[in-house]
Structure formats: C-alpha cells, structure tokens
Chain A
Amino acid sequence: MPLDIINEIGIWISAFFILCVYSWLYRYNRFFKFGEHTLIGAAAGYYFVMGVRNIMNISIRGLSLGKYYQVIPLILGLVLYARFYRKYSWLMRYGTCFMIAVSSTIYFRALIVTHVTQQIAATIEKVSLASPLLALNSVVIVGLTVFTMMYFMFTNRFTSKVQGYDFINKIGRYGLLTALGFYLGITVMTRLAFVINRLEFLLFEWLRLPTF
C-alpha cells in the first residue's frame, strides 16, 4: 500500500479518536468509552513489547554471553507473579523488597545533597541586604521557607495549642497557597498547549484548512 494512503488512514484514525475523547465535554458516552479503552489496550500492548525487549536485551542476551548472574533479576521478576497463586504468594515479597530497597538506596544517596544541603545553601546564599528591595526579598524567601517547613513539621495537637504558633502556621499556609497558585496558573499553559496541538492537527492536517 502506498505510503500516502497509509498516512491518510492514520490521520483519519487519529482524528476519530481525538473527537471520541473530546466528546466527553458534551457528556460521558460510548464513543469516549471506546477511545478510552482502545488507548489503554494499545498502551498495555506497547509496554508489554517494550518490557519483553528490555528483558531480551539485558538478561537473555547476558545469559547467552555466559553472564549467569543475569538469572537473578529474572527470578526476582518472575516471583512477582507468585501473587496469583495463594500458596506461593509469599514469594513475591522477595522481588518487591529487592525493588524497594534498590530504589530507595539509590534515591536517598542523592536526596541529602540535591534536596537538602544544596537547597539550604542556595536559600541562605540568596540573602542580601545590599538594597531595601533585596533585603525585603531575602526576608520573604527565608521567612516563607522556614515558616512553610514549620507548618509541616510541627503541626500536631500540642504545637497548635502553643500561644503564638497560629501566626507561624498562618504564614506557612500563605506560603503554600502562593506556591500552589503559581503551580495552577502555569498548569493552564500545559492544558491549553495540549488542546491547541490537537486543534492544529484537526484543522490543518485532517481538514487541511488554510491559514491567513
């Protein structure tokens, strides 16, 4: 089949599924459900193939080259499926434990430097009293950082009754809400970009409208 026809079929299928998904804006319906299920099915199939390919590249190829230790991750992966057999379901704990232990060790190794020490240093380094505006900026940054952390770390039945602590809690909450507002505002750009991209596809690739 010529490449142009294949592309054209692809564009029509894409357009159909985009319209199926956006039909949800009108109401939940069968077209949306069809689009949703097709996406999940396709994604599951795709990830299955990628997973198999990953195992073939690393473990099976390694075994064929005489690296017999590659059998260990294979076994640890296989025991995860033991959960489907009640009698042997305890075996899956070994695979799960290994995964969690490796991930958390690797993550915590980086955590202290990247998320704690360097962040504290960067916050303190920004403090400047060179001008009234910079001084105000420094107070806001350091103050909100400390109070927001205090809000999380010391919120319990005892500290919430301590006189004067409400004030710190309140500033911490304002800091949090300011940050969340920023997150929400900038997320609008992402959501609109998704819609604009699909509209561009529908208008210019599917309907082939001209631009003026």
Chain B
Amino acid sequence: MSLGDKLLDIPEFYVYLVLLVLLVVPLIKPFGLPIALTETSRKYFNTVESLEPGTYVWVTHDAMSMTELEIGLSSHAVLKHLFQKEGIKIVIGCIVGEGPMFFEQTLKDVGAYEKYLEGYGTKYVYLPFVAGDEAAAAALATNIEKATGGVDYYGTKFEDLPLMQEVNNAEDFEIIFCVDEPGWNSVIWMNQWAVPYNIPMYCNPLAGVSASLWPYIEAGQIQSMLVGSKGAAEYELLMKAPGRAVAGMDAQSLGHIFLLLLVLMANIVYGSKKVSGEK
C-alpha cells in the first residue's frame, strides 16, 4: 500500500479526534489570533450606532434550535446593542415556530430583560409567532393587528400596549433587522417588507446561507449583514465587548486550517494517482 493509499485510508474516527483536540485547546487557552474587521460588519454596527431616539425598528427573531448555535452569537450582540440605545422603539416579529422558545432567554442573556421588562409595551413589544412563512410576512406588512389577532406573545391586547397604537404596518417602520435568520427568511422579509416598502434592511444569516445573500447586498436590496460567527465576533469587537463569539474564533481558525489541509492532501493524492495512471 502506497503512502497516498494510507493517507486516504485514515479512519474517520481519528480525523474527528484530531479536530476535537484542535478545537478544545484554543477554547481552554485562547491564542488571541487577530480578527479582521470587514466593511459589512462596520456598516451594520455604524447603522445601529446612529439610530436616533424615536426610530421605529422592526426586528425579526426567527430562531431555530438547529441554527441558533451560530446565529445566536450575532443576534445576541445586535440585540444587546439595540436595547442599549435610548429612545428607539422596537417591535419584534417571528414567523418561525421555535422563535419564542429562544427569545426570552436571549433577552436575559444580553442583560436587557429586567431593564426592558419595565418598558414593555412602550419601548418594545414581542409579537406572537405567525404561521405561513411568505404569506405571514406579507400579512404582517399590511396589518399587524389582523395578522396576530391583536395580541402580543403574552396574550396582552394591543389596546393595552401604547407602542402598538403607534405602528400597525410596514410603512410605520424605518429600519428592519433580521437578527436571527435561520435559512431563507431574510429573503422573505426582503420580498415582503424591505423592497416593496423601500425600508433599509440588515440581517444576521448563518455563514452557510450568507453566500446566497451577496447578490441582494450587491443590488442594494439588503444593506448589510453579519456573516455567521465571524460577523458576530467582529460586532463584539466593534462594541468593545468581546464575548462568546470572539472566544470561539481561535478554534474556528484552527478547525479551518485543519480541514483545508485535509482537502489539499486528498487532492494531491488524487492528482498524483491520476497522473501515475493508478485507479
């Protein structure tokens, strides 16, 4: 058996084991590798930073358990920043059933729960999950009260929520943040809210999904985005509050290098076998 065959025959178990070591070591003892700031993350941060008091903000928190592990990092960072801003008024909507399961925990994690519980109804409102994906987003855009049945997530009627007397459709909002975007939801909100009503939109997609959103950013339909855990780490650095995303970046870098080496090795072996005429 040649060296190439031996390399290709390494049992998967050992590959996972090496990857595990490479991920665990930097988590326990971080190296502090540099994190380059991208223009998209800066633009996102500067927009939140420049929000004026009295701005009506539509936030979508479509969290899912299978994607929250990555997007949760950036949604935490952005929600923390949004809730720190004085005077802005936030309405949070959701068209993914699992969203509510994560929202309250997110508020507690970002330290906004106690502070904003007092301002509930005037500073922010959390709407219930509305089923129907694209149809739900369209219904919310035209009439929030009809789409939700006129109650928030906790069952409080809109009549008892002062903020919901001030807004009732997409035209009432000045900016959209899709802070927890599990898959194709940014495109749904873009289709039904951002483009038809000409509202600037920012989103936090999974890194894997972000690749398909670049054309919309290039076309100006989405203004900017935070790309996965790297975007979250950049945002934490811009906020000067390094947290969980920054802590995981060393492990991300080592994991990427290892996987890149595996891809290179497999291609070199495959190429050399092809050149030598082996099967």
Where the two chains meet, the residues of A that have a C-beta atom closer than 8 Å to any C-beta of B are 25-26, 43, 46-47, 50-51, 53-54, 57-58, 61-62, 102-103, 106-107, 110-111, 113-114, 118-119, 121-122, 126, 179, 182-183, 186-200, 203-204, 209, 211-212
Contact = CB atoms under 8 A, between A and B. Distances in A.
B208 A183 contact: yes
A51 B97 CA distance: 8
14 contacts: A25-B12, A51-B131, A103-B133, A103-B134, A106-B192, A107-B191, A110-B191, A182-B211, A188-B259, A189-B229, A189-B230, A193-B229, A194-B70, A197-B69
Interface stretch (B21-29, B46-54, B111-119): B21-29
B4 interface: no
B135 A199 contact: no
Given A103-B134, A110-B192, A118-B195, 7 more contacts: A61-B149, A106-B138, A110-B191, A122-B218, A126-B218, A189-B208, A189-B256
Interface extent on B, as a size class? 35 or more
Give 7 nearest A-B pairs by CB, closest first.
A122-B219, A110-B191, A187-B208, A189-B207, A193-B70, A57-B149, A197-B69
Interface centre among A51, A58, A107, A111 (most CB of B within 10 A): A58
Contacts of B163: none
B248 A196 contact: yes
B23 A192 contact: yes
Nearest to B99: A50
| Secondary structure dominating the interface of A | helix
B221 A118 contact: yes
Contact of B211 (A118, A122, A183, A191): A183
B27 A199 contact: yes
A187 B65 CA distance: 17
